[in-house]
Amino acid sequence: QRIGYAVVGLGHLSLEEILPALNSCKNSKLTALVSGSPEKMKKVATQYGIKSENCYSYETYDQIKNNKEVDVIYIVLPNGLHKEYTIRGAKAGKHILCEKPMANTSQECREMIDACAKAGVKLMVAYRIQYQPHNRKVRELIKNKEFGAPKFLEASNCQSSANPDHWRHKIKLAGGGALPDIGLYCLNTTRFVLGEEPTEIFAYKYTTPGNPLFTEIEEMVSWQMRFPSGVIASCSTNYNVHESRHYRVLCEKGWVNLDKAFAYKGQNLTTARAEGKLELNQNVGIAETDQFAIEMDHFSDCIIKNIKPYTPGEEGLQDHILMEAIYQSAKEGKPVKINSSSATAGIH
Ligand code: NAD
């Protein structure tokens, strides 16, 4: 059985990663397209063999409810549109796979979770890192205390951006700046790798005055999180430096380092084990696989078996609660305590 996907929004991520990945999926296939551009849609439909009756505009989107070939709607639109298209998609009776960040606010996430629950459809947030084999290996090494107890985690996800007119620089469509777009990888992956939830956050935010790229959104955020086990995570994200996409977990008897951790490919996992005064280094080779294909096949599997996805809406909600605490801490200049919320129930 192959689950049919309608992909909504034919931008960079859809065209360069998601549509090609669907071709290599085991139990997922592309069956419909939704786009605001008839010319682009025609070209993409021809390339992927999608018939014209399975091509929708944003105006005809709701008619997907009558299309039996569509089981899942995959929302790959600017962040500020995720809520509307999730709720409309749920009302059409389709399961929803929604790109990260899940929405602009935690309140929007709650509305999306409620709408999907009410419609009896599944909701998954596309946190591809949680399906990516190298990152999963790190989680396993930490869980098994392969290098002793973890004590400190450093994560960084930075890139430079150049176009102030892009939706990523407009607060209504982006919901924020570097933090929800790329800093989110540090936040979500830290929680995933450690398998626990932070209890306190302290953050700094900075934006260069007068830079036209950052009139609506922040340029950089740096924050620390304290976890119940005693681990401290130190994370940074910046839209105005050369790229970095790595993290390292420092443990009692060694460390685990993942370069290109958040990239689409090219992950490089290395470890160090302290043996007395010696340090034994190892490069952990793992075959490269298409993480987008693994992610979509996971969701299809959940639909076939009627089980909850590994990264459900609650996982997205938790990140939004924490990002709101990060902004609050940066604004107030003091640590913010995190109440254990219903969002985290059953996540680990
Ligand atoms: P993009 O700008 O390349 O594409 C966005 C698409 O949305 C375009 O086709 C655009 O025409 C369409 N769109 C519809 N209404 C729009 C509007 N009002 N304003 C602007 N565009 C509109 O963006 P992208 O990089 O493909 O990102 C799309 C989503 O995917 C975002 O939520 C982003 O955070 C997420 N994303 C995730 C990953 C990942 O690795 N999981 C990577 C990149 C992007």
pLDDT digit string, tens, across residues 226-277: 999 999 999 999 999 999 999 999 999 999 999 999 999 999 999 999 998 8
C-beta of 80 in contact with ligand 1 (< 6 A): no
Minimal-distance CA residue to ligand 1 atom 9: 11
- Predicted confidence at residue 342, as pLDDT, reads 56
Q: Burial of 66 by CB count in 10 Å (0-12 exposed, 13-18 middle, 19+ buried)?
A: exposed
169 in contact with ligand 1, CB cutoff 6 A: no
Q: Across residues 300-320, what is the average pLDDT?
A: 98
Residue 212 is predicted with a pLDDT of 95
Lookup: tokens for 84: 């509307």
Cα of 321 from ligand 1 centre, angstroms: 22
Maximum Cα interatomic distance, the chain, rounded to a whole number of Å:
68
Cβ(184) – ligand 1 distance below 6 Å: no
| Catalytic entry in 83, 85, 94, 100 | 100
Tell me the mean pLDDT in the region 274-289. Answer: 92
Q: Which residues contact 225 (CB under 8 A, 6 or more apart)?
A: 187, 190, 198, 200, 201, 232, 233, 235, 322
d(CA 248, CA 328): 26
At 210 the pLDDT is 95
Q: What's the whole-number mean pLDDT along residues 98-106?
A: 98
Is the per-residue pLDDT at 283 higher than 60?
Answer: yes
CA 343–ligand 1 middle distance (angstroms): 26
H or E element, residue 44: helix 38-48
Active site residue 122: no
Q: Look at the alpha carbons of 76, 78, 79, 85 in this order and tell me if their dihedral is positive or negative.
A: negative
Closest alpha carbon to 107 in 339, 348, 343, 346 = 343
Is 125 near ligand 1, meaning CB less than 6 Å away?
A: no
- Report the amino acid identity of residue 19: L
Catalytic residue status for 100: yes
| Domain 131-288+320-344, CATH class in plain words | alpha beta
In this prediction, residues 205-217 reach a mean pLDDT of 96
Q: How far is the CA of 103 from the centre of ligand 1 (A)?
A: 12
Whether pLDDT at 347 is above 70 = no
Tell me which H or E stretch contains 187. helix 184-194
pLDDT, residue 276, reads 87
Q: What is the pLDDT of residue 343?
A: 63
Tell me how far CA of residue 125 lies from CA of 100, 119, 206, 208, 214, in angstroms.
6, 17, 28, 32, 27
- Interface predicted TM-score (ipTM) of this complex, two decimals: 0.99
What's phi and psi for 19, nearest 5 deg?
-65, -45
Boundaries of every domain in the chain = 3-126, 131-288+320-344
* Residue 340 pLDDT greater than 80, yes or no: no
d(CA 56, CA 64): 8
Task: Select from 12, 19, 127, 189 the residue to mutate for testing ligand 1; criterion: most ligand atoms less than 8 Å from CB.
Answer: 12
Q: Output the pLDDT for position 345.
A: 56
The whole-number average pLDDT for the span 83-98 is 98
Residue 167 in contact with ligand 1 by CB distance below 6 A:
yes
The domain made up of 3-126 is a member of CATH 3.40.50.720: yes
Q: Say yes or no: CB of residue 78 within 6 Å of ligand 1.
A: yes
For residues 131-150, average pLDDT: 98
Q: Do domains 3-126 and 131-288+320-344 have the same CATH topology?
A: no
Place of tokens 């931008």: 11
